[in-house]
Amino acid sequence: MSGVGKGIATASIGKILQSRGFRVTAVKIDPYLNVDAGTMNPVEHGEVFVTEDGDETDQDVGNYERFLNVNIYRDNYMTTGRVYQTVINKERNLDYGGKCVEAVPHIPLEVIRRIKRAAEKTKAEVTIIEVGGTVGEYQNVLFLEAARMMHLKNPSDVLFVFVSYLPIPSKIGEMKTKPTQMAVKELNSVGIQPDFILCRAERPIDGPRKEKIAMFCNVNKEDIISAPDVNNVYDVPLNFEKERLSEKILKKLNLKAPKKDLNDWRKLVAVSQKAKKEIKIGIIGKYFETGDFILSDSYISVIESIKYGCWRHKCRPIISWINSDIYEKDKNKLKELSDYDCLVVPGGFGSRGIEGKISAIQYARENKIPFLGLCYGMQLATVEFARHVCGLGDANTTEINPATKNPVIHIMPEQAEKLAKKQYGNTMRLGAYPCVLKKGTLSRALYGKNKIFERHRHRYEFNNNFRERLEASGLVIAGASPDNKLVEIIELPKSVHPFFVGVQFHPEFKSRPLLPHPLFLGLIEAAI
């Protein structure tokens, strides 16, 4: 089922094999008809993770990048829509030479072609392929068929790891293996026999249950791997190694490797467990609620980036999700923001909750609470500054009010054309672009260099017609595109505010556990 931890399992298996000296990459298969994740609502599908080359992918790709500390590119992500689109285009181009083009074998063959291309382009020695969805559902059957075909062709090069969930019903108090047994049966029916079963559960799986699964699922007992819930997902590779998983995988693949080297990782996990000093961070967003449940998946990269910043400073992050709507209903509630050591306003779209975010930013600015605005957060910080410091009362982004007299944030010209033609898919300003940092600014000091590359995902931008006016009132344009046409970073001088930075890009996509992003480090330092 979704959320069981396939992404973390994939990333962690990658990590432990990487620690044995192999070049590893990971591929994500999403069984949706959407061509990419860019058009999916974050509440439904979690964060849209943007790659260096501008693909709008699933949040698991973010996990792979963070665990493996490598960039994952467009080739490593596929959806049903993307695969079908290629096959249909090829058919239209007569690439199949007049053959009858069929779901089987042409779709699985295209899947295999994509997997191989991803491995070749990244020069990976081991490629971990995560098939999303649930065994037995209609949607991922053709991907499983591709997996079966790969195994048939290269039996000694392809291994199957099955991630299963073992419930422990509270009224019974015993871990149940039956759903796993049935799921493996289902998997067998499409011609796949798992080599390993990862047993996700609240608690570690014990010997008797390992035996049961081994017998009923036709897997060696030592290949039933315990994967209990953890407080910290970075623990997972270490837990896998307690079960000697890398050794077992390499043996089956007939690969020789040096001893594992997970020392840096181990140290990081130790810091995250031992850190005592608490830092209270408020994330003011809106994609939290789904029915009666609260999710934070929409902001996972932001959350992880905050954690890395805290751990590097040997602190423990206490993160609260704040729904910006509440400040629209009751401005008095803004006072609660004083409880936080720092505030983050992440990216977003549309008008819901926007005035609440603007009020929160004003509060952070006036009360000198360290603040980091990401994409929309930067745009709204600009609106806030224009309204309350420059006195442009109706200042706004044209995303919210197209008729404002003071459109301090407006649509990028090429984006307006795309929207007019209803070209929504993968058309934003996406992926990494260069940005030049201004001497003497906080951002420049934090990055320690004058040119950076950061990842973008937006249609609106800072309106240069207001640049002088805002600068005259004290706003610092700390970073811009090399031609100086696009404002990429705004900040306030340290003499006015301890840390007030807004960035048009998404630094959260480039922060890694062992390589925390400088802006998040700066934010946490200011918070401390």
| Burial environment of residue 253 by CB neighbours within 10 A (0 to 12, 13 to 18, 19 or more) | middle
CA pair distance 262, 359, nearest whole angstrom: 45
Taking CB under 6 A as the binding criterion, the range among 279-287, 308-316, 455-463, 489-497 that sits at the site for ligand GLN is: 455-463
CA 256 remoteness from chain centre = 32
CA pair distance 326, 332, nearest whole angstrom: 10
Question: Residue 167 is encoded by which pair of tokens?
Answer: 């419930």
Is the CB of 212 or the CB of 457 nearer to ligand GLN? Answer: 457
In the range 460-519, which residues lie near ligand GLN by CB under 6 A? 460
Q: How far is the CB of 412 from ligand GLN (least distance, A)?
A: 8
Q: How far is the CB of 266 from ligand GLN (least distance, A)?
A: 35
Residue whose pair of structure tokens reads 């890398």 in the numeric block:
246
Cβ-based neighbour number of residue 9 at 10 Å: 24
Contact indicator for 122, 18 with CB cutoff of 8 Å: no
Asked if 348 is part of the footprint of ligand GLN (rule: CB under 6 A), the reply reads yes
The verdict on whether 508 is a catalytic residue reads yes
Is the CB of 399 or the CB of 454 nearer to ligand GLN? Answer: 399
Query: Of 21, 13, 60, which is closest to residue 243 (Cα–Cα)?
Result: 13
Asked if 327 is part of the footprint of ligand GLN (rule: CB under 6 A), the reply reads no
Is the CB of 210 or the CB of 458 nearer to ligand GLN? Answer: 458
CA pair distance 14, 124, nearest whole angstrom: 11
Is the CB of 200 or the CB of 455 nearer to ligand GLN? Answer: 455
Taking CB under 6 A as the binding criterion, the range among 87-95, 288-296, 342-350, 518-526 that sits at the site for ligand GLN is: 342-350
Q: For ligand GLN, what does the binding mask look like between residues 382 and 401, x meaning CB under 6 A?
A: -----------------x--
Crossing angle of helices 263-274 and 300-312, in 10° steps, is: 90
Instruction: Give the 3-state DSSP-derived string for 82-111, with helices as H, strands as E and coil as C.
Output: HHHHHHHHHHHCCCCCCCCCCHHHHHHHHH
Residue 354 identity (one-letter amino acid): I
Taking CB under 6 A as the binding criterion, the range among 174-182, 372-380, 438-446, 510-518 that sits at the site for ligand GLN is: 372-380
Of 199, 217, 315, 375, which is the active-site residue? 375
Of 56, 65, 145, 508, which is the active-site residue? 508
Query: Of 164, 27, 159, 2, which is closest to residue 83 (Cα–Cα)?
Result: 27
Is the CB of 457 or the CB of 497 nearer to ligand GLN? Answer: 457
Is the CB of 55 or the CB of 399 nearer to ligand GLN? Answer: 399
Q: For ligand GLN, what does the binding mask look like between residues 411 and 450, x meaning CB under 6 A?
A: ----------------------------------------
Q: How far is the CB of 46 from ligand GLN (least distance, A)?
A: 15
Is the CB of 7 or the CB of 347 nearer to ligand GLN? Answer: 347
Is the CB of 478 or the CB of 486 nearer to ligand GLN? Answer: 486
The residues, any chain, with a CB within 8 Å of residue 200's CB and separated by 6 or more, are 4, 5, 9, 163, 164, 165, 166, 227, 228, 229
CA pair distance 155, 142, nearest whole angstrom: 19
Asked if 373 is part of the footprint of ligand GLN (rule: CB under 6 A), the reply reads no
Asked if 49 is part of the footprint of ligand GLN (rule: CB under 6 A), the reply reads no
Q: Outline where 3-58 has alpha helix (H).
A: 6-18, 42-45
The residues, any chain, with a CB within 8 Å of residue 469's CB and separated by 6 or more, are 386, 390, 392
Asked if 299 is part of the footprint of ligand GLN (rule: CB under 6 A), the reply reads no
The verdict on whether 384 is a catalytic residue reads no
Asked if 20 is part of the footprint of ligand GLN (rule: CB under 6 A), the reply reads no
The verdict on whether 217 is a catalytic residue reads no
Question: Residue 56 is encoded by which pair of tokens?
Answer: 């709008």
Asked if 376 is part of the footprint of ligand GLN (rule: CB under 6 A), the reply reads yes
Q: How far is the CB of 378 from ligand GLN (least distance, A)?
A: 8
Q: List, as one string, the DSSP characters of 291-340.
A: TTEE--GGGHHHHHHHHHHHHHTT-EEEEEEEETHHHHH-GGGGGGGGG-
Of 106, 456, 497, 506, which is the active-site residue? 506
Chosen residue from 349, 371, 385, 520 binding ligand GLN by CB under 6 A: 349
Chosen residue from 114, 357, 458, 517 binding ligand GLN by CB under 6 A: 458
CA pair distance 522, 66, nearest whole angstrom: 20
Chosen residue from 24, 26, 78, 375 binding ligand GLN by CB under 6 A: 375
Whose CB is nearest to ligand GLN? Answer: 347
Is the CB of 248 or the CB of 456 nearer to ligand GLN? Answer: 456
Q: How far is CA 334 from CA 236, 324, 380, 383, 496, in A?
A: 38, 10, 17, 18, 21
List residues binding ligand GLN (CB under 6 A).
Answer: 347-349, 375-376, 379, 399, 457-460
Catalytic amino acids? 375, 506, 508
